Amino acid sequence: MTDNDQLSGLRTEIRDWLAHNLPADWRDRQGGDNTAGFLAMQREWFTKLVEGGYATPHWPKEWPGGGRSLAEQIVMFEELARGGAPRMSLFFVSLYHAAMTLIECGTDAQRARHLPAILKGEVWCQGFSEPGAGSDLAALRTRAERRGDRYIVSGQKIWSTLGHFADQCLLLVRTDSSGAKQAGITFLLMDMKSKGIDVRPIRQITGDEEFAEIFLDEVEIPVENLVGQENEGWKVAQVTLSSERGLTLVELTERMALSLWRLVDAATQGTGDTGMLDRSVARSLVDISARIEAMRAMLATLMANRMAGREAVGDASILKLAYSRLSRDFTALGLRLQSFAAMRDTRYVLGAGYETGNWMFDFLNSYQYNIAGGSNEIQRNIVSERVLQMPREKLG
Amino acid sequence: MTATIEDARIDPEEIRDSAQRLLADMVDRRAGWEARPDGAAALDQAMRELGWYQLIAAEAEGGLGQRFDVLAPIYEELGRSLAPVWLSGTMATIDALYATVSAAAEQLVAAVLENGWRMAVVTLAPGQSLAAASAPMVGGAPDATHFLVIGDGEAPPLLVAADAPGVSVTEVTSWDLGRSYGAVEFSDVRNVLFRLEGDDVLPVVRAHSELALACDSIGGASQCLSETVDYMLGRQQFGRPIASFQALKHRAADHKVAIELARSLVSHASRQFAVRGDGWAVLSAQARILACEAYAAMAEDCVQLFGGVGFTWEYDAHLFLKRALVNQIIGGSPDDLRDRIVGDVCQRAQTARL
C-alpha cells in the first residue's frame, strides 16, 4: 500500500488505540460453543470500535468516523488484523451491506430509521440465496404480492450469515414472473420480528452455526420498506454485493500472513527450531509463503486500481479464485503437519480467522471461501468468458 | 544540471513499448527450430544501440543510471517473443559490480559498456572450484566474453575471461533450440580478472538472475495462454469451438489465475529489488518459483489443449514448453531455491505473528 505520512500516522494511532482497548481475553470469552459469550464479546468490541471511530470509515463524512478514503480503510483493516483484534463478524453485514445499500439507494426515512440504529448495534442479515437460487441467484422464487400498503411475502431463504441473531433483513423477492428473471425482482427491508418468520440455524461441517435458513409464511412488509423501485431490486442488490470493496480479502490475507508462524510451529512440533525441519515440509512452507506474498501484492494492485478508478473486468474473480485455493492449501498443510492432533475436535474461536489452532476446523472452514459469494466454478466462468473472451455458456 | 534523480527516471512502460517494437521486428522465434540463422548477433547489436546494456550503469561509467524496474519489462518481452538472446548474465554482472566495495568495479563496468563484453553466470556444483569444475548447461556461454562464477557456498563471485588459460566452452545442443547454451569447464584456472567482494554481491547476482527468469516466464506464459485461447476459439469439433467447452474454459481460467498471481509477486519483488527494499532476496527467489511453475504448467497444458497438432514440431506449443522447463531449472532448481531460503522464510514468519 502507498504509505504517506498521513497513513503511517493512522497506523500508529490504531496501534496505540488497540494497546488500550483490545480486551486481552477476547479469545477465551467468545470461543468454543459459548454462543452467549460470542454475542457479548462481539457487542462489546463493536461498541468500542464505534466509539473509537473505526467501525464506519466507509460511511459519508457526516457520520462519526466516516469520510475516510479507501486507502485509510485498508490501513484500518490491516492494522486491526495485525493487532490481533476480533473480526467484526456479527456486525459486518450491518455496517457494509445494509448501510451502503441504504446510503446509496434508500429513502431519507429509511436512513434516519436504520443508520443510527446500526451504530447502536442493530444486526442485519442478507436474504438473497434460496435453495433453488444459489449460483443462479436471479432465479429466486420467494413471492411478494402487494396488497394495499403492504407486501405479503412467502418463500424460503438460505445461507443468511448469522441470520439467527439478526434484527433486520435485506430481502430479495419476486414481484413479477412475466419477463426476464432479473426484471421482476424487488428489494425489501424486513423486520425479523415480523409474524410468519421462522429462522433455523444451519449446522456446518465444522459443527459451527454461522448461517441460517429463513422460512417466510405470509409475512407482511410495509411498502415504505421498499428500496428503489418495484421490480428494480436487482440493481440495488449489485450495490449491496459490491459494498465491501475487497476489504474482507485484505483482512483475511493479512491474518493468514500473520498466521504463517502457526505452520512453522506445527512443522517443528512447537519448538520453533527450523534447523530440524523435514525437507519436503520446508519446501511446502516456502511455496505457501510465496503464494501469500503474491496474494498480498495482487490485492495491493487491485486496491490501487480501484482507488484510481481503473479496475478491470474479472479482477475480483481472479483474486477470489487465488485466495480460495490458497486458503484451502494453507489449511491443508496445517492439517498434514498437525497430524492426529488436528483430528481431535478441540475448541475453536468464532470470528478470528486462522487463529483457532485446530487445523481440521480451519481446513473444513476454508470451503466457505470456495463456495460463498459466487463459487469457484462461477468465478472460472467469469474469468474465461469476460477476461479471456471465450464463448459464453448457453443460459437457461 | 539541477535535475533530481526522479526526473531522470525512465518510464518502464515506455521501455516496454520500445522492446515490443524491436522484438516484433527482429525475432524469428522458429529460426533455431528450422535451422535458420537465429539473428541473435543482429538483435544484440540493436539492443546495444538502444542503450539497454547501459540502463543500470551509472552516468559516470557512460550509463543511464536506472534501476531494475526498467529491466523487468525488457526481460518479460524477451520471454514473450521467445527471443534468442541472454541479456541477464551481463546485466546481473553490472548490478553485482556496483554491489562491491571496490572502486575498480566501476572501471570494469565502463569496460563492459565500451568493449561490448558479454557475461554468462556459471553456478558451480558443491565442491567445485576454478581448479576443476564443469557446468553442463550455461545459458549464453558460447557468446560470452567473460564468466561470472558463483559457487555453492558464500564465497565471493569471480570474474573470469572466457579466453583465460584453463577455460573451455563447448556449444550444447539442448532441447531448447531457441537460445544458445554451452558446457563450461575449468581446469586449473588461475587468471581471475576480479573478485567481487561485498556482502550483497552474491544475493544481488542471484536475485537479478532469478527475477530475469521470472519475468521471462511471465512473458512466455502470457503469450502461451493467449495463443492457446486463440487456437481453442478457432478449432471446431462437434459443431462448435472447443473454447466453448466448460471443462476447457475452466482450465484456461486456472492458468490465468496462476499467471496473474505470479505476475503480482514478480512485480512486487522487482520493485523491492530495484530499491533494495525489505525482503528483496527472499521475494526474488519466491517470484521465480511461482513464475516458472505457472509457465511450466501453462506450456504443458498448451500441448494438450492443441491436441494432435500440439504434438507436432510444426506448431509452436513445444517452443514454450521447452523454454519453460529450462527456465525452471537453469542456475538452480526450484528445490535448490526453496532449500536456500527456507530459513529466512521461517524466521520472517516467526517474527511477524499474530
Q: What are the DSSP calls for B242-285, one per residue?
A: GGG-HHHHHHHHHHHHHHHHHHHHHHHHHHHHHTT-TTHHHHHH
pLDDT over threshold 70, residue B354 = no
A279 neighbors B339 (Cβ within 8 angstroms): yes
To the question of domain B116-198 being in CATH 2.40.110.10, the answer is yes
Of B243, B264, B335, the CB nearest to A283: B335
**What is the complex's ipTM, to 2 decimals?**
0.95
Whether the predicted pLDDT of A320 surpasses 60: yes
Q: Which residues pair with A174 in a beta bridge?
A: A143, A185
Residue A288 has pLDDT above 90, yes or no: yes
**Residue A73 at interface with chain B, using a CB cutoff of 8 Å:** no
Range name among A80-84, B256-260, B277-281 with the lowest pLDDT average: A80-84
Q: What is the pLDDT of residue B199?
A: 93
Residue pair B240/B314 in contact (Cβ under 8 Å)? The answer is no
| Strands A124-127 and A168-174, sheet pairing | parallel
pLDDT reading at A220 higher than 80: yes
- Provide the residue type at A91 as one letter: F
Q: What is the mean pLDDT of residues A94-109?
A: 97
Does residue A174 belong to any structural domain of this protein? Answer: yes
**H or E element at residue B77:** helix B71-80
Cα–Cα distance list, B222 to A130, A162, A270, A323, B232 (Å): 39, 42, 42, 21, 15
**Amino acid A31: pLDDT:** 75
Question: Burial letters for A65-88: b for 16+ Cβ neighbours within 10 Å, e otherwise?
Answer: bbebebbebbbbbbbbbbbbbbbb
Among left, alpha and beta (phi > 0; psi -120 to 50; other), residue A162 is: left
Q: What is the mean pLDDT of residues B143-157?
A: 91
B335 exposed, middle or buried (CB, 10 Å; 0-12, 13-18, 19+)? middle
Most B CBs within 10 A among A293, A299, A327, A392, hence the mutation to make, goes to A293
User: Chain B contact for A223, CB < 8 A?
Assistant: no
User: The C-alpha cell of B154 is what?
Assistant: 558464500
Residue of A nearest to B234 (CA): A390
The grid cell for A270 is 512447537
Cell numbers linked to B200: 550483497
Give the strands of the sheet with B119-123, arranged side by side. Answer: B119-123, B146-150, B158-161, B194-195
Measured in angstroms, the CA of B350 and the nearest CA of chain A are apart by 5
| Cα distance between residue A141 and residue A173, in whole Å | 7
What is the arithmetic mean of pLDDT over B224-242?
Answer: 97
Is A76 a residue whose pLDDT tops 50?
yes
A313 in contact with chain B, both atoms CB, cutoff 8 A: no
Burial class (CB in 10 A: 0-12, 13-18, 19+), B343: middle
- The Cα-based distances of B10 to A276, B20, B45, B67, B96 in angstroms read 47, 16, 21, 9, 21
Among A233, A259, A275, identify where a domain stops.
Answer: A233
Q: Please name which of A148, A199, A191, A201 lies closest in space to residue A171, comparing C-alpha atoms.
A: A191
Q: What's the rounded mean pLDDT across residues B289-308?
A: 98
Domain boundary among A210, A233, A256: A233
* In-domain check, residue A159: yes
> Which residue of chain B comes nearest to A293, CA vs CA?
B265
| C-alpha cell belonging to residue A316 | 475480483
Spatial CA neighbour of A223 closest among A175, A182, A271, A189: A189
Interface of A with B in 327-366 (CB under 8 A): 355
Residues of B in contact with A285 (CB under 8 A): 342, 345-346, 349
Q: Answer yes or no: is A294 within a domain.
A: yes
**Contact with chain B for residue A252, Cβ under 8 A:** no
Burial class (CB in 10 A: 0-12, 13-18, 19+), A209: middle
Q: Tell me: pLDDT of B180 over 70.
A: yes
Instruction: Locate the chain B residue with the closest alpha carbon to A255.
Output: B354
Q: Say what the pLDDT of residue B170 is.
A: 98
Cell of A107: 429513502
B126 in Cβ contact with B152 (< 8 Å): yes
State yes or no: is A244 an active-site residue: yes
Q: What is the mean pLDDT of residues A150-173?
A: 97
The structural domain count of chain A equals: 3
Annotated active-site residue in A78, A210, A213, A244? A244
Residue B129 above 50 pLDDT?
yes
A384 and B CB contact within 8 Å? yes
At residue A352 the predicted structure's pLDDT band, cuts being 50, 70 and 90, is: low
Across A250-257, average pLDDT: 92
Positions of E strands within B140-180: 146-150, 158-161, 167-172
Per DSSP, the three-state class of A13 is: helix
Q: Which residues of A touch B241 (CB under 8 A)?
A: 391
Q: B354 and A258 in contact by Cβ < 8 A?
A: yes
Give A260→chain B minimum CA distance, Å: 6
CB–CB contact B268 A289 (8 Å):
no
The kind and range of the H/E element at A221 are strand A211-222
Average pLDDT over residues A162-189: 96
According to DSSP, the residues that pair with A395 across neighbouring strands are: none
Coil, strand or helix at A215: strand
Residues in chain A, overall count: 396
| Residue A32 predicted with pLDDT over 80 | no
Mutate one of A255, A286, A298, A318 to test the B interface: name it (highest B CB count within 10 A). A286
The CATH number assigned to the domain holding A224 equals 2.40.110.10
CA dihedral A34, A40, A45, A46 (to 10 degrees): 120
Cβ contacts from A onto B, under 8 A: 141
Of residues B49 and A207, the one with the higher pLDDT is B49
- Residue A152 counted as domain residue: yes
Q: Bridge partners of B123?
A: B150
CB contact under 8 A, A381 and B246: yes
Burial class of A309 by CB neighbour count within 10 A (0 to 12, 13 to 18, 19+) = exposed
pLDDT category of residue A369 using cuts at 50, 70 and 90: confident
The mean pLDDT value for A320-347 works out to 89
Q: Where are the alpha helices (DSSP H) in B116-245?
A: 201-234
Judgement on whether residues A316 and A258 belong to the same structural domain of the protein:
yes
The arithmetic mean of pLDDT across residues A202-208, rounded, is 88
Residues of A with CB below 8 A from B232's CB? 390
SS3 for A282-343 is HHHHHHHHHHHHHHHHHHHHHHHHHHCCCCCCCHHHHHHHHHHHHHHHHHHHHHHHHCHHHH
Query: What is the structure's pLDDT at A354?
Result: 65
Q: Is the same domain home to A143 and A31?
A: no
Residue B238 CA to its chain's centroid (Å): 42
pLDDT value at position B1?
A: 38
Would the CB atoms of B253 and A384 count as touching at under 8 Å? yes
What's the pLDDT score for residue A138? 94
Answer yes or no: are the C-beta atoms of B116 and B48 closer than 8 Å.
yes
What are the cell numbers at B133?
Answer: 569444475
pLDDT at residue number A209 = 87
What is residue A18's predicted lDDT score, i.e. its pLDDT?
Answer: 96
| Banded model confidence at residue A349, pLDDT cuts 50, 70, 90 | low
A93 domain-assigned: no
What mean pLDDT comes out for the span B17-21? Answer: 97
The pLDDT mean for chain A works out to: 92
Domain stop point among A171, A203, A233: A233
Cβ contact (<8 Å) for A297 and B335? no
Q: In this complex, do A391 and B240 lie within 8 Å of one another by their Cβ atoms?
A: yes
Residue A289 near chain B (CB below 8 Å): yes
CATH code of the domain covering residue A306: 1.20.140.10
A201 and A330 in a single domain? The answer is: no
How distant is the Cα of B298 from the closest Cα of chain A, in angstroms? 14
Instruction: Report, as an integer, the average pLDDT of B259-273.
Output: 98
* Alpha carbons A138 and A141: distance in angstroms, whole number: 9
Beta-carbon separation of B289 and A293 below 8 A: no
Which homologous superfamily is B201-349 in? Butyryl-CoA Dehydrogenase, subunit A, domain 3 (1.20.140.10)
Q: Indicate whether A3 pLDDT > 70.
A: no
For chain B, the domains span: 1-85, 116-198, 201-349
Average pLDDT over residues A260-283: 90
pLDDT at B269 over 50: yes
Are the beta carbons of B345 and A380 separated by less than 8 Å? no
Q: Which domain holds residue A262?
A: 246-387
Same-domain status, A252 and A319: yes
The proportion of chain B whose per-residue pLDDT surpasses 70, expressed as a percent, equals 97
The residue that leads in pLDDT, A307 or B172, is B172
Q: What are phi and psi of A143, to 5 degrees?
A: -90, 140
C-beta separation of B18 from B73 below 8 A? no
Same domain, yes or no: A200 and A286? no
B283 chain-A contacts, CB cut-off 8 A? 293
